[in-house]
Structure 1
Amino acid sequence: MPAKRRPRAAAPMAAEDGLLLLQSQALAEEEAAKTKGEMLTRFLKDKLAKEERSSGLNLRKLSTQWRAVLRETKDEELRRDIEILSQTFARVMDCKDSSLATDLEEAEEQHAQALRSHLHNVDRLLQLQRERLTCLEEGYSTQLEALKTEFETERRTILEQHERESCYLRDVALAAEENYARNDHEATLNFQSARDDIKSKSLQEKQYSRMQLGGKAEVLWEQFQRAMQSYTEATEHQKIAFEALKQKDEKSSREIETQAKKLQKLQDLVTATKGRIAAHLRESEEQNRCAREEKERVLGQLQELKSGMNQARAKAHGSLTRLTVQSGAALKALARVVEKAQRVLRLAEMCRRLETEEEKVLPFYPSSLAEEEQRDARQVLEETPAEPLARAMQDYVGLERFWQRFNKAKLEEQALERERAALSQRNRRLRELLRQYLAGISVSQEVLDEPNPLLAIEHKSCVPRDLPRAQGYQGAAHPNSLLGGDTHPDPIPSSAGTG
């Protein structure tokens, strides 16, 4: 049994030696080819220098003969090249002019539409704000006119009432003065009549007494004359003093009567004035009470109006703040839209620079629809749809070319992603094969822990058994796959499989 297993164990060693020998032969061949190429290059350089020296000697002789021929030939070639280049340039310029003009018109139309929409929205906001301010001003003017009218009405009412009361007080004062004068005149007349009656009565009584007491008076008069003479003689100085005192008494009585009359007049005037003052006080208190009530009512209305104005001002301030915030948000949204548009334009410019000549000449791929289907699609687009979403999509018909290019780019991106995924999978498979190959030729703790082809005879591998050397050679010949480099290895040489 051991004699039979040795050739099987030596087979991988022979394969490895064969691979190493082939690699060393390939390196030697490359070195020989490189040396041969360098020698051939030096030889050609030397030969070229000799030919240049010899051609320099013969060039002067042949220049006159070949100049005309070369000029004609070169002229024809240049003319053909110029014609070809001019045609190509004209075609490319026409394509670019048409595409750029179309893009420019679309961009200008979109910009004009966006600008018109923005200006329309701004005008609507300004109109709404102006209408709102006009309504507020009209309401304020109406309230102010109403307050002014009410104030003027109350003022005229108060002034008319004051004028009426003043006229009433003047009439009352005039009537009181007339009543007092009339009463004073009546009292004076009564006093004079009473005085005349008393004087007449006293004269009649005096005459009667004089007639009755005439005789007695004569006797008594004589007695009285005698007594009076004696008394006069005795009281001459007292009589003089009595006369002086009598005159003084009469004067004082007249003054007392005058002062009493004045005092009575003053008392009557004071009483009447006190009555008028009391009446005026009652009326003024009533007027003051009414004025205070009216003032309190007006103050309440003023407070209500102030509170209403404060609420309206707060509401207007809140609305203005909300409008300012909404305007700021709209400006920010427009700035974001403008930034996005600028970014789209920059990306479009970058994409235009990265386009190939074929994409510049034919930027849009032909449609896969038939002519009848295209005609039906155009008819459907020209018709006015009934659904709101379809009507909204009508505004974006001008972006059809853009979506074609965008879809084309997306399809290419998806194709490249799939190709990249396939190449990544192939790279992982090749790395797995290389790892298995390296694990087969090396010994380590990890290799010993895992199934090893050197120790396991019946090892099931995912690699087909008919191409172990070719796959091993392929993994060893392309170590760049380990670094994620070229994922397209060169085809395996047929000599490697046969060796």
Structure 2
Amino acid sequence: MVNVSILHLQLCFSHTACLYRVFCVLERLPCQYVLGLSVCAYTDSARKDYWENQGGALKGCYIVWTVSLVLKMPAVKKRSKRGGRKKVLSGVELERMRAEESEKRCRQLMLLQSRLREIVSEEKEMSNAVSGAIDARWMRFLRECKQRELVAEIEVLRRTFEATLDRKEGFAVTLREELNVAEEQCRHAFRSHMDVLSSLLELHSARTKDLEAELDANVTEMQQDFEYERAELELKHMIEMDDLRLILENMATEAEMLEKKLQEETSEGYETAAEKMDEAMREMEADLNKVEEGLRGELDSRYKNFMSTAQANMKEYTEKCKEDQETTERIAAQLRKIEKLQTSVASWRTNIARNAKEWESRNSGIEAERDATLAHLKRLKGKMQRWRELQSKALVELVKEANATEEALQETSKRASRILRLVELCKPMETEREQVLFHEANISSAAVEAETKRRIAAHGSGNEPDDVLSGGDAAPAANEQWLSLDRFWVKHNKVVLDNAALTQERFLLEEENRMLQEVLKQYLDDVSISDEVMRQSNTLLRTQAANPNVVQAANARDSSGVRGYNVVEGNKFVNDQTRQAIGH
């Protein structure tokens, strides 16, 4: 006869190595046969409900296995009350029975080990088959997490882009205002330039008139000098020609008189006359030669003087002609310049007359635009003043909320430090069972009391039959062992996840504190005036949506009904657990 005891265990394994350890423990159990081992994986919803009941918030990090063990234990034979005397066995029979029993035990152990090896191989195959689905679900979960992160990043980028767009629009408005001011300055400079240009044109026209008058005076003076010198030269030439004519006439009259005297004398006597005539002729020729030589010398000297003076006058005349030609060329160039200036002045006058109406319309439009700009500036100033008042009120509210939050956080920190001190003081006084039961959220006090009463009743009934004791104590011992292991892992998981959640919450609070400090600094820079603030960019034209704080985010999650879970990277956690298992 054998006792059949069926154990239903619910185990949590983070890796298949834990399952191998279970098999090693099963090999050490005092069991005769292991008839079957069924393993099934819970679904995601069942796993999540289970771990939410356990007090954790895991997603895809663990697999819950249900192990059903069917054990057949050898029953202890009852001693017969009717039986007579005990059969006395010899030493050889006892030795033979011990040998048979040891061989039987060895065969049973070998069968058990072979069966466990087959189960291990089947479990490996099943784990390989299930790991693909687990990896797929884990990847789907990671994709969802990554999608949420990307959506949050896109939202942050959108807000940043909106703030940048607002800042650029404000910058464009300032640039348009500066452009309008620059255009006004350009128009003012153009008007002043036109005034200066008109004054320069008037000055140039006056200067050209003065130069023309001076040139006309110089030309008339030169013409008068030229005419005066020409008249003097003509007068000298006429006087010299008259002298030469007079000399020639005197010579002709003297020759006629001599010829008459000779004719008269010839009438008296030809010979005497001829002789006298010859003598007179010779004397006259000598005298005439002398006179001719004197006249020729005088004429040559006068001619030379005249030619020298004429050449000098001719050179001076040619030089004056060249100067006159150059002067006429300069006068022609000046006249051409004057004509060009007159044409340009006429064109400018026509342009001014043509553009006068256009400039008047533009000036009126500019004045209207200036009035509209001033009105818009007044409205913007009023709006900015109202916005500053609202921001000051918001800052006051923010400071109040920050002070209240700081006080609440200080109270929470004091309470947490007090709790930690109490925990440190209470740790040495707790038993191992109390330390394990402290982290079991799914075990009620009624279940604990029922378990305690059952154990007391089991220990108190010492006169029960041996088969009841042997059949009723094997299962609680095994259950106690695996429940302790399960409690240990629950405690370990809770501590690890609490640490991860605290780290993440600390990071979020630090980030929120930094953002609040930046917002406060920006507001103080906006409402205060200093050299550093004036050197920085103008932040009044930038808008930025405020991110919700931790309390607002928690209230939003509670109002939406969506519960968040702390996420732990599965591969890292499995590797840590494997290293811990190997270390133990």
- Report the TM-score when normalising by structure 1: 0.31
Which of the pair is proportionally richer in strand? 2
Q: Which has the higher contact order (CA 8 A, sep 6+)?
A: 2
Which of the pair is proportionally richer in helix? 1
- Report the TM-score when normalising by structure 2: 0.28
